[in-house]
């Protein structure tokens, strides 16, 4: 599995994606490769192509508290520029360019303050990040148990996710 946390830590709560990636890196979950960047770029499609499951983690200014978690499907042409991509576009590029069809998920962590030149998370965002970290660990463990037992599908049910 690949976890990509993206966002700008220099803009307050916009750094929630990289903060989640950092927390997961410290936990060292077996089978989870962690990457972090300011934004999604064309090169991410190649990285995504090497994994059966990809979770994109980002700050969400208007989403539910503390976070949302949902399945995403490849969709070409969304927000495409050479400098910033939508996660669904990254999946579409991995499919088109590399023939890869990983399962895709978006973990949107609710943020509140996106001020330029603020390099710390707001108290509410820190709390939401903690909830997202706990959720991800539980989801990964349950998914790993089902996979090792021969299960093929897992639908996370935290009461705070979207499908």
Find the DSSP H helices in 12-122.
Answer: 16-27, 43-48, 87-98
CATH number (domain holding residue 43): 3.40.50.1450
In a domain, 153, yes or no: no
pLDDT one digit per residue (tens) for the chain, 163 residues? 999 999 999 999 999 999 999 999 999 999 999 999 999 999 999 999 999 999 999 999 999 999 999 999 999 775 555 557 899 999 999 999 999 999 999 999 999 999 888 889 999 999 999 999 999 999 999 988 866 655 444 333 333 444 4
In a domain, 144, yes or no: yes
Tally of CB atoms within 10 A around 149: 7
Tokens matching residue 162: 């979207």
In a domain, 106, yes or no: yes
In a domain, 161, yes or no: no
pLDDT recorded at residue 147 = 65
Number of domains into which the chain is organized: 1
CB–CB of 8/38 below 8 Å?
Answer: yes
CA torsion sign for 74, 137, 155, 31 is positive
Q: Domain of residue 66: give its range.
A: 2-148
Tally of CB atoms within 10 A around 148: 8
In a domain, 96, yes or no: yes
In a domain, 131, yes or no: yes
In a domain, 160, yes or no: no
In a domain, 155, yes or no: no
**pTM of structure:** 0.87
């Amino acid at each position: 599995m690949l976890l990509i946390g993206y966002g700008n830590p220099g803009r307050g709560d916009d750094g929630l994606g990289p903060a989640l990636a950092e927390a997961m890196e410290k936990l060292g979950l077996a089978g989870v490769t962690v990457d972090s960047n300011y934004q999604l770029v064309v090169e991410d499609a190649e990285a995504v192509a090497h994994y059966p499951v990809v979770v994109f983690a980002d700050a969400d200014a208007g989403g539910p508290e503390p976070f949302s978690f949902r399945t995403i499907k490849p969709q070409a042409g969304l927000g495409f520029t050479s400098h910033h991509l939508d996660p669904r576009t990254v999946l579409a590029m991995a499919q088109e360019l590399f023939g890869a069809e990983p399962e895709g998920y978006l973990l949107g962590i609710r943020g509140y303050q996106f001020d330029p030149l603020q390099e710390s998370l707001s108290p509410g965002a820190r709390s939401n990040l903690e909830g997202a970290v706990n959720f991800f660990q539980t989801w990964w463990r349950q998914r790993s148990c089902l996979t090792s037992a021969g299960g093929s599908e897992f639908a996370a049910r935290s009461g705070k996710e979207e499908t």
